[in-house]
């Protein structure tokens, strides 16, 4: 793996290898084993969008591995306006050991990867959020779920997080059902690729049907960053897709409820569910740190022996 731009960059075995590395890194950190396998290495963080989890976990992750982070806001760089993505990639490649980018257009992170001579990590684009999906499925495996036998219901918008989750889930053998209103389905290219490779994926308009017998229910905001002008229309379109106690009642008794955060409480999910006994949202958030450390260590060539 040269870069990590999409869940499609991973095979099943590749994902499971990263999960094992993540588990080892998490265990060693909590046991007080604070090695520095990436001492002297630097990760550039390019952020066109605001962030809590992605920025903190990437920055803390490289620090915990012994390296350093350099934060660059969109205003400082002006990707595509003040300076082109290829020029940014070429320059940064002379100074840093890796680049993590949180951008609006997926084409931007692709351009960075094409022109960089160092690894590039997608910290979110309008098309995918692969680090989130890795943390999600690591969290489920940590909870003891059989990833190849479980049923995951995605309820809501077929957005960037959805793309990453359903692609990685399909690679791991999960049965996936996406429930969304007409016109808000996942990108047909993602759906076709999953089905072409034998993935088990169903698209429906019925949220209760999707939740029926589910081991996992996953939702995300109805209006993502950059879609604020569509808020009223989306609120109306998704009004029947709220993850509430009624929807959770259709799933298995031990169902786990996931959300990548931040949540719009009272819209796509209720307080009772988000803060309830089925929710594992904080476990997901914590594991962003550990899974991204595994990605960084893998791409930058560090050794677990030094942790």
Task: Name all domains of the chain by residue range, CATH numbers in brackets.
Answer: 7-129+287-301 (3.40.50.1370), 144-279 (3.40.50.1370)
Contact 35, 302 (CB under 8 A): no
Residues involved in catalysis: 102, 129, 132, 220, 260, 288
pLDDT at 227: 81
pLDDT at 139: 98
> Of all residues in the chain, what percent carry a pLDDT higher than 90?
93
The CA distance from 164 to 90, in Å, is: 27
Task: Write out the DSSP string of the chain.
Answer: ---B-SGGG--HHHHHHHHHHHHHHHHHHHTT----TTTT-EEEEEESS--SHHHHHHHHHHHHTT-EEEEEEHHHH-BTTTB-HHHHHHHHHTT-SEEEEE-S-HHHHHHHHHH-SS-EEEEE-SS--HHHHHHHHHHHHHTT--TTT-EEEEES---HHHHHHHHHHHHTT-EEEEE--TT-PPPHHHHHHHHHTT-EEEEES-HHHHHTT-SEEEE--SS-TT-GGGHHHHHHHTTT--B-HHHHTTS-TT-EEEE-S---BTTTB-HHHHTSTTB-HHHHHHHHHHHHHHHHHHHHT--GGG-
- Which of the four pLDDT bands, split at 50, 70 and 90, describes residue 8? very high
Task: Determine the average pLDDT of the residues in 223-249.
Answer: 93
For 183: left if phi > 0, alpha if psi spans -120 to 50, otherwise beta; the answer is left
pLDDT at 224: 84
pLDDT at 226: 78
- Which of the four pLDDT bands, split at 50, 70 and 90, describes residue 175? very high
- Which of the four pLDDT bands, split at 50, 70 and 90, describes residue 51? very high
Mean pLDDT of the chain, nearest integer = 96
**In the structure encoding, which two tokens stand for residue 278, read together?**
């089925």
Residue 249 to residues 217, 241, 262, 273: CA-CA distances in angstroms?
A: 11, 14, 24, 11
| Closest CA relative to residue 272, chosen from 303, 292, 297, 248 | 248
Q: Is 228 or 110 the better-scoring residue by pLDDT?
A: 110
Residue 266 to residues 222, 239, 247, 272: CA-CA distances in angstroms?
A: 11, 11, 14, 9
Measured in degrees and rounded to the nearest 5, phi and psi for residue 268 equal -75, -15
Quickly count: other Cβ atoms within 10 Å of residue 284's Cβ: 24
Positive or negative, the CA dihedral 134, 136, 139, 145 is negative
Residue count of the chain: 307
Give how far the C-alpha of residue 238 lies from the chain's centroid of Cα atoms, to the nearest Å.
22
Task: Determine the average pLDDT of the residues in 90-117.
Answer: 98
Task: Determine the average pLDDT of the residues in 198-223.
Answer: 97
Contact 129, 260 (CB under 8 A): yes
- pLDDT reading at 307 higher than 80: no
- pLDDT reading at 225 higher than 80: no
């Amino acid at each position: 793996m040269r870069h990590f731009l999409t869940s499609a960059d991973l095979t099943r075995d590749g994902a499971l290898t990263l999960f094992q590395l993540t588990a080892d890194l998490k265990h060693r950190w909590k046991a007080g084993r604070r090695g520095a396998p990436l001492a002297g290495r630097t990760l550039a963080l390019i952020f066109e969008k605001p962030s809590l989890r992605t920025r903190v976990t990437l920055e803390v992750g490289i620090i915990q591995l012994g390296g350093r982070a350099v934060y660059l806001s969109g205003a400082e760089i002006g990707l595509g306006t003040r300076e082109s993505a290829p020029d940014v990639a070429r320059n940064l490649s002379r100074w840093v050991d890796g680049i993590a980018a949180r951008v609006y257009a997926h084409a931007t992170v692709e351009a960075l990867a094409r022109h960089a001579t160092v690894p590039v990590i997608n910290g979110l684009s309008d098309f995918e959020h692969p680090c989130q999906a890795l943390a999600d499925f690591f969290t489920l495996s940590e909870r003891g779920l059989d990833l190849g036998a479980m049923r995951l219901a995605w309820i809501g918008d077929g957005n960037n997080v959805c793309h990453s989750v359903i692609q990685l889930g399909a690679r791991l053998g999960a049965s996936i059902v996406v429930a969304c209103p007409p016109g808000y389905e996942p990108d047909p290219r993602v759906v076709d690729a999953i089905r072409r490779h034998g993935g088990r994926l169903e698209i429906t308009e019925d949220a209760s049907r999707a939740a029926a017998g589910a081991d996992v229910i996953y939702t995300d905001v109805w209006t993502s960053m950059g879609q604020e002008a569509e808020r009223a229309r989306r609120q109306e379109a998704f009004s029947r897709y709220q993850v509430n106690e009624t929807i959770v009642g259709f799933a298995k008794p031990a169902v786990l409820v996931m959300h990548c955060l931040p949540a719009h409480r009272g819209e796509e999910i209720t307080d009772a569910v988000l803060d309830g006994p089925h929710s594992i949202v904080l476990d997901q958030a914590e594991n962003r740190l550990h899974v991204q450390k595994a990605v960084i260590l893998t791409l930058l060539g560090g050794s677990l022996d030094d942790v």
